[in-house]
Amino acid sequence: MKILSYNVNGIRAALNKGFADWLKATAADVICIQETKALQEQVDTSLLEDLGYHHYWFSAQKKGYSGVAIFSKTAPQNVEYGSGIDHMDFEGRIIRADFEGVSVMSLYLPSGTNMERLGYKFQFMDEFQQYINTLKKTHPKLIICGDYNICHQAIDIHDPVRNKNVSGFLPEERAWLDAFMHSGFIDSFRYLNPEPHQYSWWSYRANARNNNKGWRIDYALVSEALKENIQRSFILPEAKHSDHCPVGVEIHI
């Protein structure tokens, strides 16, 4: 199973930039989308259907904001829209598809753009950890793909010294992500790729992408129960429909 995760920063804008043609070339079995910024009825989904994808959307209540989706070549056995936690679901940040042998989640964790949102980010992280602890009891083979808005280690950011007090690389955020991984998840990319200078997001400012001054904040975290099933993990920086690029993992099911 080839699984991709992509914060598209607006699915309609991405489609206008050739996203459908790119998706066809990837031959992904499942793709987790973040920041759709659209309701399903605002999107020309025939472009996805023509490629053979079933598609499932969970949008924010606020129009043009946040939102997640999952596109899959195989129809899932079950789709769970949201977490059942009201404040998370109001912002459209979690959707899960259950297949035979594995469950795949698309997650869009909040960013801490100001003090109010940073406080909310920590609330979300704490409650998300509790939610996943419970979910793993019934869905032990879980892959959580998405934009976590956190760099885990210094290797995951182009300038760890100057960014040490910036949300996304705060010690408390990094400690949470570290603990989350240690609660039973493998960072599939780092598991197979120890090399530095590999990122998934670049600021639009100061020609950051061309200079590869980026952050690795998008992950495909795989339950430890599936560790031996990880065959390949990768980042696709040549895909340029967004300020993020896709990340992916291939799992033998």
N-to-C CA span, the chain: 7
**Cβ within 8 Å of residue 137, ≥6 positions away:** none
3-state secondary structure of 62: coil
Catalytic pick from 50, 89, 126, 147? 147
Reference 217, options 142, 145, 162; nearest CA is 145
Does residue 1 sit in helix, strand or coil? coil
Tell how strand 102-108 and strand 142-147 pair up: parallel
Instruction: Indicate if 147 belongs to the active site.
Output: yes
**Angle, nearest 10°, between helix axes 115-138 and 171-182?**
0
Burial class (CB in 10 A: 0-12, 13-18, 19+), 236: middle
* DSSP letter for each residue of 98-133: EETTEEEEEEEPPP-SSHHHHHHHHHHHHHHHHHHH
* Active site positions, annotated: 147
